[in-house]
Amino acid sequence: AIARRITGEAARAPPTPRGTALAYDERMNLHCPLQGDCHPERPHRIAAIYHHLVRQGLAARCVQLTGTECTEEEATTMRHPP
């Protein structure tokens, strides 16, 4: 699983440039939804959107974020809205 951590190491990181962030990682293409899963995020959809942004020159204007490996605990922790 891939997750962008907002606690721990990332929370202590120096400030990054401000602007529109774009989070993309080639490992997103490894996502394989279960058969019958109606979740809209499919690898080909994510890749097509990203490559369109690159072709239009928009990706270069964004602050690029990449994914980090999450721990088993992070992957299995259920988050509830406040």
The mean pLDDT value for 52-71 works out to 89
Closest CA to 53 of 24, 15, 19: 24
pTM confidence score: 0.57
The per-residue pLDDT of the chain, averaged, comes to 75
The mean pLDDT value for 42-68 works out to 88
Q: Is the pLDDT of residue 58 over 90?
A: yes
